[in-house]
Structures are given as structure tokens and as C-alpha cells.
């Protein structure tokens, strides 16, 4: 669903709020935040997806990782989770659902959280995800649109998951692409988030359905623009060839239509199918971190030293009233 669709659906709805509400839907951030005490705020999010791979255990891991990511995007820690399941019991066995849930449980355990239960309904299409609650100090919430001029932008996972998962459904993805996509989609953003909090950053979000350019655009505020270096962006190598065949999810094309007016291309040498990867709707993508220039290399070194060797500085924040993304 595009941001334009969401605007239509939510237009005129008067959501209840409170003086304890610190972040809600009106902020266009990754999670909602509600103050409990002067030292504790709960961070809440919910997400679920249809299968992106054939293996049920791996699907469960990916879906859970995707759901947990919004907690990490706020600089919070995971505490509890509830399973959300829509199950086609006419075509899927109980053993398959068991494996999906096992995959999700293992990821919540890795995140340091607990699973309290959940809810299951019958549906013609399998869906699985989590409702997640985390905690953060009310004064240490990381937002997505508090970038500052001079910041460097770090991306912690390569792009290409959208075109690869669509290619899987079409039986066109090579095993090497599947293996790499599964690895990254099931890789928790926990360590990257903790390191960002430790180093001290200005803003953070994760890359999911709106693609890299969409989520970068959400980071822009009225005082800034972003300069993106295409050649610095990490990609899963096999995604280039799959992109040339046009096997993108529908969300990628909706992203292009919606965000294209806010993108300025100054590098004409980028092939169209490669540029389209910047709009590609990701499942369980990496974090986008806006970090002061003087701390950028420190954070990058820490990320790479913990095994996130694909992390890269992909751009910088400029003091510009154009409020756009320049891709060079």
C-alpha cells in the first residue's frame, strides 16, 4: 500500500490520544511510543507478511525478524511478542504451521524477548507476523525525521530482497540469490541498533515496503535534503540480473510513482533496472542511520567488526530547502 493510499484511508479519522502519547500514527514513524514512567516508555508495532520463501521455518524467521525491526528502528529493546496467524488449513498441514511458529519463536528468543501467546484465524492465504512491545527511555527515542545537515547516512543491509522474493515466486531465482536473501531477511537489526544508540546518532529508520528512496524521503525534514551516492549502496549481486527481467513486486512500481517527483537524478550512467532497485519494496531490510559526520566512521567500524561487513556510508544530509533526494 502506498503512502497516498494510506492518506486516503486515514483521512478524517480521529485517533484517541493522551498526554502520555509520545509517538503515534500522525508522526509517520516506525512504531508508536507511550510513556509509562519518567524512565520507561513502551514501544509498540505490528506487522505480518505472506510467505516469501518456500521453507516454513525460514519464512517464520523472516516474518518475525521483519516484525521486530520497527522496535530496533526506534532505538528500543524487544520485550514481548504475540503471534498473528492466518492459516489455510485446507492446503497446509499442522506440521507446516508448527515450523512457521518455531522459526518465529527462535527469532524472538534471539532478540531477548518472550512470546506471550497470539491469535489464529482461517484464511485462504497464509500470513504470519508479530505484535511486538519494546521499551526505551522516553528521552532516548530515535525518530526517523530528525536528521541534521552534515550527517552521514549508513545502510546496514544490502538491497535486492524485493526483486529476489518475487523471482522466487516465479521460479526464476538462482539458489545463490535465495540463500543471500534469506540470510539478510532473517538477520536481526538488534546489534546495529544497539551500536547506533551507543555511538549516538540523530535519526534512524528501517528499509521495508517503501524501498530505500521512500524511507530516505521520510527521513527528510523541512531544513534538509539528502545526497545519495548510488555507487556506495550495497546490493545483493544477483539482484542486478533479476531486476533486468522486471520481476519487481507491485509495491516497487507504486513506490516509483509516488516518490519519483522528489528524486533528482544527476548520474545518467545508471541503468534503469539498476535505478529501480532503489525503489524496490524490501522485506526485513536494514537500518538507515543518520549519524554526525565525526562519528560516522566509528559507527561503521563497529558495525563491520561485529560481522555486519556489508554496512556502508551511502550518502549525506545537506542544508537545502529543496527537501529532495539527489542521486549521483
Summarize pLDDT for 140-172 with one digit per residue, the tens.
999 999 999 999 999 999 999 999 999 999 999
pLDDT at 6: 79
Query: Is residue 1 pLDDT above 80, yes or no?
Result: no
What is the phi/psi pair of residue 14, to 5°?
-105, 90
CA distance 59 to 307: 23
Mean pLDDT of 274-291: 97
Please provide the average confidence, as pLDDT, over all residues in the chain: 95
Query: Is residue 229 pLDDT above 90, yes or no?
Result: yes
Give me the architecture of the 13-136 domain, per CATH: 2-Layer Sandwich (3.30)
Structural domain spans, the chain: 13-136, 152-327
Q: Which of 43, 26, 25 is nearest to 34 (CA)?
A: 43
287: Cβ–Cβ under 8 A, 6 or more apart, which residues? Answer: 69, 72, 73, 154, 155, 156, 157, 189, 192, 193, 196, 204, 205, 206, 207
Share of the chain above pLDDT 70, in %: 99
Query: Is residue 82 pLDDT above 90, yes or no?
Result: yes
Contact of 325 with 216, CB cutoff 8 Å: yes
Strand order in the sheet with 263-265: 203-206, 287-291, 152-155, 312-319, 224-228, 325-327, 263-265
Q: pLDDT class for 41, splitting at 50, 70, 90?
A: very high
What fold does the segment set 152-327 form as a domain? Phosphoribosyl-aminoimidazole Synthetase; Chain A, domain 2 (3.90.650)
Contact of 105 with 148, CB cutoff 8 Å: no
Cα-based angle 215, 219, 225 (whole degrees, multiple of 5) = 110
pLDDT at 25: 82
CA distance 328 to 325: 10
Write down the H helix ranges in the chain.
Answer: 3-10, 56-73, 94-111, 161-169, 175-185, 190-199, 211-219, 238-244, 250-259, 272-276, 293-305
Three-state DSSP at 214 gives helix
pLDDT at 3: 72
Amino acid at each position: 500500500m502506498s503512502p497516498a493510499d494510506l492518506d486516503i484511508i486515514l483521512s478524517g479519522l480521529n485517533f484517541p490520544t493522551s498526554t502520555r502519547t509520545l509517538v503515534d500514527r500522525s508522526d509517520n514513524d516506525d512504531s508508536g511510543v507511550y510513556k509509562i514512567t519518567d524512565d520507561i516508555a513502551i514501544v509498540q508495532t505490528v506487522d505480518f507478511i505472506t510467505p516469501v520463501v518456500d521453507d516454513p521455518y525460514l519464512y517464520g524467521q523472516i516474518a518475525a525478524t521483519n516484525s521486530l525491526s520497527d522496535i530496533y528502528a526506534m532505538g528500543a529493546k524487544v520485550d514481548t511478542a504475540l503471534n498473528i496467524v492466518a492459516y489455510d488449513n485446507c492446503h497446509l498441514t499442522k506440521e507446516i504451521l508448527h515450523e512457521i511458529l518455531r522459526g518465529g519463536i527462535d527469532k524472538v528468543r534471539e532478540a531477548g524477548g518472550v512470546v506471550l501467546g497470539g491469535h489464529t484465524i482461517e484464511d485462504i492465504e497464509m500470513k504470519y507476523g508479530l505484535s511486538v512491545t519494546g521499551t526505551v527511555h522516553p528521552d532516548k527515542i530515535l525518530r526517523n525525521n530528525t536528521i541534521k545537515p552534515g550527517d552521514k547516512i549508513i545502510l546496514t543491509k544490502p538491497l535486492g530482497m524485493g526483486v529476489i522474493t518475487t523471482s522466487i515466486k516465479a521460479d526464476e531465482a538462482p539458489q545463490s540469490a535465495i540463500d543471500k536473501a534469506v540470510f539478510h531477511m532473517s538477520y536481526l537489526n538488534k546489534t546495529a541498533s544497539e551500536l547506533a544508540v551507543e555511538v549516538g546518532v540523530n535519526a534512524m529508520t528501517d528499509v521495508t515496503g517503501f524501498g530505500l528512496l521512500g524511507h530516505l524521503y521520510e527521513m527528510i525534514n523541512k531544513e534538509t535534503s539528502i545526497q545519495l551516492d548510488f555507487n556506495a549502496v550495497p546490493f545483493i549481486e544477483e539482484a542486478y540480473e533479476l531486476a533486468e527481467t522486471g520481476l519487481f513486486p507491485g509495491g516497487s512500481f507504486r513506490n516509483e510513482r509516488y516518490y519519483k517527483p522528489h528524486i533528482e537524478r544527476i548520474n545518467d550512467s545508471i541503468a534503469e533496472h539498476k535505478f529501480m532497485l532503489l525503489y524496490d519494496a524490501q522485506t526485513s531490510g536494514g537500518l538507515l542511520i543518520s549519524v554526525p559526520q565525526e562519528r560516522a566512521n566509528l559507527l561503521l567500524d563497529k558495525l563491520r567488526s561485529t560481522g555486519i561487513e556489508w554496512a556502508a556510508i551511502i550518502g549525506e544530509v545537506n542544508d537545502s530547502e529543496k527537501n529532495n533526494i539527489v542521486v549521483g
